Structure 1
Amino acid sequence: MKKTALRRSKIIEALEIQGQVNVSELSKEFNVSEVTIRNDLSNLERNKLLVRAHGGAFKTNSLAIPVTEKKKINLDAKKAIGKAAAKMIQENDSIILDSGTTTFEISNNLGKFERLSVISNALDIINNLANYDNLEVMVPGGFLKEFSMSLVGPMAERNFRQLHCNKLFLGVDGFKTDVGVYTYHMEEAYLNQLMIEISEEVIVVADSSKFKKSGFAFIAGLHKIHKVITDKGIEQEYVKILERNNVEVIIAD
């Protein structure tokens, strides 16, 4: 029992420092089976000390934040990114707005268009778009993930496969250097991959803090991304990495 308590204590310490942990890595570090680590994580989750995810777990306050609260984080940067993104949209475009607090800000800047088709799996974005008369809005359906207010699952996937659009504005939870973009949830990652497949241009919208974060669920490599819109807080190192991978970087004012 003492070994178990000590191991779980060290897992919590790792979460405090890193924000996330991986089952395989913990198994090697503590020299125990992955089943044992999963049992540890399940116990800690029951005590509300972490949030389980595919392959590991996240620090509670790094993931389980309602979307209403997430919208307040780095709000000025997100507003600037939303305005910059809207400038890239043309009349008669068909666009996808992925779920996310930065893509929500794009939806605040679509009132000027006379004709625009918008597809979104985010209920808060759909509700916001209802304020505009000239938009053709499509909802793919699916199961609701309440924390992100997004619709996912087989129904959403099937409907996205029937579509084609000009531009995808993709929100992400993190980047990995020279690898690609990630999210916290497997269902959302798979849906994002379908969005990328049906889009002519893929534009990632992410405030600069996302370049210091990651997630367990891989969405796509940098070669699938055409542009990234971010804020002036991005470190030059990340700009160079993106440009080296032929990704155009746009800094929102």
Structure 2
Amino acid sequence: MPDRDSEKSIGTKGKHASVKTRHKQIVDLVRERGFIAIGVLAEKFKVTPQTVRRDINTLCDLGLLQRHHGGAGPVLSTENVDYTDRKILCLREKQIIARLVAQNIPNKSSLFINMGTTTEEVAKVLVKHDKLRVITNNLNVAKTLSVNNNIEVIISGGIVRHKDCGIVGEAAIDFIRQFKVDYGIIGISGVDKDGTLLDFDYREVTAARSIIENSRKVFLVTDHTKFGRNAMVRLGNIREVDAMFTNKMPPSELVEIMQHNDVELHVAE
């Protein structure tokens, strides 16, 4: 029997939709929502995950989408997914990454924690730690940790971004440079296969660079959708971090670079 998905697929209302129509709807959904997982698309269009993977491959070859581990996203290098969407995107993955990171942070440590939805999840787990000293340019992180009287939170000065309560600007960078801490916890928008760390906001990248340069150990926290993701501002290279915490194995090329440069890989299953 021929593959039931080879010519037709079942649409969201039970009607048959042509492959061409399904492709258009997939592109529209990705542009509207940002990243969409293969499983979500398979369920929506009532087709197999294998069919969705073929659809994504075709659309990526046409330059209409960007392939990510487990799904697809828009082809953008200048604009990130909206903060409210990023908060719920891969939330479960971010939570298990956060728990793994927290297991590697001892009590009585000093830390930098920068902007990002993954680092905010890390803060939610670290709030149970004892006698931490945390310097941050993220008001959400500061608010989360401030409920523990045994954690000292120090906030940088600078300009507050309305969209995510991140603090940016020269004042923030100058403030960060006054400290030397045990651990710097940073997030990222994209990790290229050659190890390049990429982000969208130059001001945010500048603050993250200061965190890298003033931390004895740097922990990069990122979910699998960031592998191969495009962004226009270069933060640095994976070689500059001590450990990466993620939820799935990175591409083999990236793993090889990490092994060659003694970068620890922690995969939270």
Report the counterpart of residue 119 of structure 1 in structure 2.
135
- Which residue number corresponds to residue 72 of structure 1? 88
**Structure 2 residue 241 is the aligned partner of structure 1 residue 245:** no
Matched with 1:17 is: 65
Distance 1:176 1:156, change over 3 A: same
1:169 paired to 2:185 = yes
Which entry has the higher C-alpha Rg, 1 or 2?
2
Residues 109-147 of structure 1 show CA distances to partners (whole Å, capped at 9, x for unaligned) of 123322110111111111111221110000012111223
CA deviation profile, 1:205-246 (whole Å, cap 9, x unmatched): 000110020311111122211100000364444333322332
Structure 2 matches for 1:221-232, cutoff 5 A?
221-232=237-248
Give the deviation of 1:57 after TM superposition.
3.3
Task: Tell me the C-alpha RMSD between the 2 structures.
Answer: 2.2
Match of 1:57 among 65, 78, 102: 78
> What whole-Å deviation, never above 9, does each CA across 1:172-192 have from its counterpart, x for those lacking one?
000122242111110011111
User: Tell me, what secondary structure is at the counterpart of 1:108?
Assistant: helix
Output the TM-score relative to the length of structure 2: 0.70
Q: Deviations over 1:84-117 (max 9, x none)?
A: 0111111211011111111111111123322110
Q: Does 1:99 align with 2:115?
A: yes
Note the residue ranges of structure 1 that are not aligned, 5 or more in a row: 1-11, 22-55
Instruction: Give the match for residue 217 of structure 2.
Output: 201
Where do 1:125-204 residues align within 5 Å?
125-204=141-220
Cα 1:75–1:203 shift into 2, 3 Å: same
Identity %: 26
Q: What is the CA–CA distance in structure 2 between the aligned matches of 1:241 and 1:157, rounded to whole Å?
A: 29
Is the alpha carbon distance of 1:142 and 1:15 closer, same or farther for their aligned partners in structure 2, counting shifts above 3 Å?
farther
Asked whether the 8 Å contact 1:64–1:147 carries over to 2, the reply is: no
Q: 1:231 to 1:179 in 2, by over 3 A?
A: closer
Q: Distance in 1 between matches of 2:141 and 2:127?
A: 13
**Structure 2: tracts of 5 or more residues without a match:** 1-30, 32-58, 67-73
- Give aligned pairs, total: 203
Instruction: Report if aligned partners of 2:194, 2:253 keep a CA contact under 8 Å in 1.
Output: no
The match for 1:90 is 106
Q: Structure 1 pair 124/241, CA: closer, same or farther in 2 (3 Å)?
A: same
Rounded to whole Å, the distance in 1 between the matches of 2:132 and 2:263 is 26
Quick one: distance in 1 between partners of 2:210 and 2:163? 21
